């Protein structure tokens, strides 16, 4: 049995009235607020679990449920840059070549650039 909330589909054939748009915007705002609240609550629970499990990295069995505590790390590149400068240790660095978008915009007419735009996915922003 699926307990997920039903989402009312938008009937593309029906006229998109102002009332429908307003309802959708209001519902979206409610869901966003709920999502933010729930995310905050999940973070609080995670913080409590971290404390109760002693912050020990690894997998913990809690009443048959596996709870993993992970600790992420990455190389301190600022330390590498200060202790091993590129001029003396070029083998530790990579050189990349990339298109300078500002220079391209200066060199080409806007019409030419408009023909070569890559479009991304559309998104919805409600303020």
Please report whether residue 11 resides in a domain. no
> How much is the pLDDT for 123?
84
Low-confidence ranges of the chain (pLDDT < 50): none
Q: What angle do CA 72, 82, 86 make, to 5 degrees?
A: 105
pLDDT at 126: 79
Q: What is the pLDDT of residue 80?
A: 94
Q: Confirm whether 57 is domain-assigned.
A: yes
Specify the pLDDT at position 73.
93
Q: What is the pLDDT of residue 103?
A: 93
* 74 neighbors 87 (Cβ within 8 angstroms): no
In a domain, residue 109? The reply is yes
Q: Is residue 120 part of a domain?
A: no
The pTM assigned to this predicted structure is 0.60
Q: What is the predicted pLDDT for the residue at 107? A: 93
- Overall domain count for the chain: 1
Is residue 121 included in any domain, yes or no? no
In a domain, 41, yes or no: yes
CA atoms within 13 A on the CB side of 42: 6
The domain of 98 spans: 18-115
Question: What is residue 70's predicted lDDT score, i.e. its pLDDT?
Answer: 94
Residue 8 lies in a domain: no
Residue linked to tokens 């404390």 = 51
């Amino acid at each position: 049995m699926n307990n997920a909330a039903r989402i009312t589909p938008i009937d593309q054939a029906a006229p998109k009235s102002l009332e429908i748009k307003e309802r959708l915007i209001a519902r979206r705002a409610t869901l966003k607020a709920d999502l933010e609240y729930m995310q905050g609550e999940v973070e609080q629970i995670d913080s409590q679990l971290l404390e109760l499990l002693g912050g020990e990295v690894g997998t913990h069995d809690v009443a048959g449920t596996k709870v993993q505590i992970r600790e992420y790390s990455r190389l301190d590149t600022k330390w590498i840059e200060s202790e091993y400068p590129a001029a003396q240790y070029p083998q530790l660095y990579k050189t990349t070549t990339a298109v300078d978008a500002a220079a391209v915009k200066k060199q080409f007419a806007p019409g030419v650039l408009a023909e070569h735009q890559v479009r991304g996915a559309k998104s919805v922003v409600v303020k």
